[in-house]
Amino acid sequence: MSSFISSYAGKTVVAVGAHPDDVEIGMGGTVARLSEVGANVVMVIVAVPDRLDERLSESAAAASLLGAKLVALEPERCIRVEDLRMHELVRRLDAVMRAHAPAALFTHSSDETHYDHVLVHRGVLSATRLLRSDVYFYAPSACRPAIRSWQPRVWIDVSSTVDRKMSAIAAHHSQFGRRGICIDHFCEDMRLRGLPVGMAYAEGFDVHCARDA
């Protein structure tokens, strides 16, 4: 959907993930395509649970590969999403939304099996109450292949940016390479996602609200 990508050219797009690597896995190819058309893409990390400096450094490298700006809600300390009370999470997300006024907002789906991802989903929805922004949810993620019933309503062709996405995921060496976790299935997920819609590689999104949807 080139029209989807081009509709955000020159505009700000915010993508929120619970942890480092979540946005890259969920929509790294789309982030790269948006940045190519001149969108100002802001990747937001809610919480870094361990190895703060290393994981933020990996995240900065990944964001650079995708052409995005990195923002961490808690850049000074290790913290879990569950350590933030919902009103505090929403307050911090409110500040991000006011600062960037995004034309489009992306975050986790409510169908996630990770409870902390669901908390971020709920917090982001609360932070949209005063904004006029398109809101999309990327596919549930797992570091290993998993059976999921979730289905998208929007498909984005990421055939031209699949390599950048995989490089961005690989930049999180502490999460994958060091732990011996193969990342090839993320590429296979994109291939399988694209098959029904005639795309070599695709990322899918559910639509919460979109002015042109």
pLDDT digits (tens, 9 = 90+) for 148-192: 677 899 999 999 999 999 999 999 999 998 899 899 999 999 999
What architecture does CATH give domain 13-138+151-207? 3-Layer(aba) Sandwich (3.40)
* Helix (H) or strand (E) segment spanning residue 194: helix 184-194
pLDDT digits (tens, 9 = 90+) for 60-98: 999 999 999 999 999 999 999 999 999 999 999 999 999
pLDDT digits (tens, 9 = 90+) for 16-54: 999 999 999 999 999 999 999 999 999 999 999 999 999
Integer Cα distance of 66 and 123 in angstroms: 25
Give the model's confidence band at 213: pLDDT under 50 very low, under 70 low, under 90 confident, else very high: very low
Residue 142, pLDDT score: 67
- Contact between 138 and 108 under an 8 Å Cβ cutoff? The reply is yes
Which residue spans within 37-161 are E strands per DSSP? 40-45, 69-72, 104-108, 134-138, 154-157
pTM: 0.93
Residue with the bigger pLDDT between 137 and 213: it is 137
| Whether the Cβ atoms of residue 182 and residue 189 lie closer than 8 Å to each other | no
Domain boundaries, the chain: 13-138+151-207
Burial profile 21-44: b = 16 or more Cβ within 10 angstroms, e = fewer: bbbbbbbbbbbbbbbeeebbbbbb
Distance CA 192, CA 174 (A): 27
Per-residue confidence (pLDDT) for residue 146, from 0 to 100? 60
